[in-house]
Structure 1
């Protein structure tokens, strides 16, 4: 519409204007998240006051007054306790962690053979780093190497054989046991959980009943009971003279326990897939396993990534329960070394527990962050 030489319709698209200064930046974030209501203001002030009081004490204990070098307890104990530190000192005893670090990592593994766990760790990083980067090609070959070849090679490297001396699993311990249990449990429980979830939704009554019975029985008892039964009761059902390695019993117990929880997580994903996806796959003439492998399971697993990772994180922390069957994971071997009279002091236990807690947190936080990354990478519109 025009009036003479004047035009009322713009012929060009105006450039996008930046948001108002009051709607962006640090000030906007603080105002929106910390000072939005009077209650938020009060809670923010209390939180800042608490952090201002706590952080200096924590930093002082962890770093400033901490002892980083030493050969025995006298470097960490106070003069009242027979040590060299002034009375009232209570800094962390990182000298204890440094002295025991190798034991915390691999337990009592034969000293001359400790290059083998180190080599397994390097191979694991080399094979899993490309798996976790979506842009790296040849994921199929990488998966075969990581989930089939690596476990076999790792077993012979850690245990022995093919010219390598045998190192009994009784000597294994520390972070190595935690990672071995977690890695094997993840590899076993994920596909087993998928099969159990599919079996629970099966139209065949016998299959469905067996899967429901397995899932409900395992979920109804604590992991400590499963480990106790695997360690103590399983040998009673074996022929005389037969035995099962203690680490293998723990692996089986943790894997079975985790698979029951994984089955329910996967089943939740299957129920969240729209019915039209099943009907569309049927209309294409796909068989049951083709439909599940190509259409249903990829969508279901994507929807329940947070639940899957949450199950793995819980399982990773629950590996500390293997101490009840006389196996020492990271936490168990840290606690075992508290009894070392050469390092007995008031701050040694707390320092060891802080170290173990930090290692557990590091792995769990890493899994959580990677889970968030994969959710964003695979997001195709389900996110609200």
Structure 2
């Protein structure tokens, strides 16, 4: 005789998910139906315009029927959107850089891949050097490409990557300095943080681009993109410092006292005991700052740098593509959403991985 089987569990699968999440009571069922009706009413015209009636194939505006979205505008200007004004003959260097960046990110994100510390060290030290040589040129027989010809998605990723990689360690140092018991270090950290948090990013970019050259000798030249990168890194490092300081204050004082009792010095206490716990607590705040930084890269337009959004807007002034602003802005919004949503989802995965509450 076979053992009796358990009764079917209706809490799993698609039906179980619907019963437990959307239709687990009279009130929730009514609310779910109303929300579903509103979504259908609102999304149906959008899907009709963006997908069903849209035009996808062509090279000129004559390929657009006018009933739906004209994605021909995006496909015809896709290379400009990605590379900006980068020379055609040198665009393979951008492809190599972006491909290497994607491989490094995937290697660090996928859990089971080996040698993550070495890959992380290469991403922080080796990759910036390779990207600098490839994108700027002037070495190893590569033609020099000035930063004024950079633009589009590659410029957005450059500004965001440098800002993220530079603001986090600088923010950690500033947070530690603000909590330091040395008056000079603490005062300098407080002044730095409060100054950069007290001015808008637009003002920082304007000062870095327009006002800074007025205060330096004529023979000293700073690249416009370099000035913008330094300004963005300093600006967001001040916000990052406050996020990290919140995590440091959340760590019980006994953790550091126990580390002192073991004979650990200050930097070993911070690096081995306090900071790992503090940074884990403030992962949502850190990623939130990264997302805000990524979206604020569009502000570099005010100093004459054409990022993703600026390149799309410049294409809308072309007399051959007048009237397709909606498609351009929707595509730009979609690109920003993909990158920001990816960072948000990875932060949630990282939180679950580092969770020690069980």
- The TM-score by the shorter chain falls in which range? over 0.9
The residue that corresponds to 2:347 in the other structure is 371
Q: Secondary structure at the match of 1:114?
A: helix
The residue that corresponds to 2:45 in the other structure is 57
The residue that corresponds to 1:120 in the other structure is 97
Larger Rg: 1
Shift of the 49–205 alpha-carbon distance from structure 1 to 2, 3 Å rule, reads same
What are the ranges of 5 or more consecutive residues in structure 2 without an aligned counterpart?
A: none
The 2-side partners of 1:19 and 1:311 are apart by 49
Q: What TM-score do the two structures reach when normalised by structure 2? A: 0.93
The 1-side partners of 2:196 and 2:292 are apart by 16
Q: What TM-score do the two structures reach when normalised by structure 1? A: 0.87
Whether 1:189 aligns to 2:167 is yes
Whether 1:157 aligns to 2:145 is no
Shift of the 144–27 alpha-carbon distance from structure 1 to 2, 3 Å rule, reads closer
The 2-side partners of 1:287 and 1:373 are apart by 33
Q: Would you say how many aligned residue pairs link Structure 1 and Structure 2?
A: 354
Whether 1:131 aligns to 2:108 is yes
The 2-side partners of 1:311 and 1:58 are apart by 31
The residue that corresponds to 1:95 in the other structure is 72
Whether 1:216 aligns to 2:190 is no
The residue that corresponds to 1:299 in the other structure is 277
The 2-side partners of 1:25 and 1:172 are apart by 49
The 2-side partners of 1:263 and 1:73 are apart by 49
The 2-side partners of 1:245 and 1:310 are apart by 29
The 2-side partners of 1:28 and 1:101 are apart by 44
RMSD (CA atoms): 1.9
Tell me the alpha carbon deviations over residues 195-246 of structure 1, each in whole angstroms, 9 at most, x when there is no partner: 0000010111221122112112211222111111111111111112322111
The residue that corresponds to 1:106 in the other structure is 83
The residue that corresponds to 2:55 in the other structure is 67
Equivalent of 1:252, from 197, 222, 230? 230
1:324 to partner: Cα distance: 0.7
What are the ranges of 5 or more consecutive residues in structure 1 without an aligned counterpart?
A: 1-14, 77-84
The 2-side partners of 1:113 and 1:302 are apart by 41
Equivalent of 1:350, from 317, 320, 326? 326
Q: Which is richer in helix?
A: 2
Confirm or deny: 8 A CA contact 1:73 1:344 kept in the other structure.
no
Shift of the 23–96 alpha-carbon distance from structure 1 to 2, 3 Å rule, reads closer
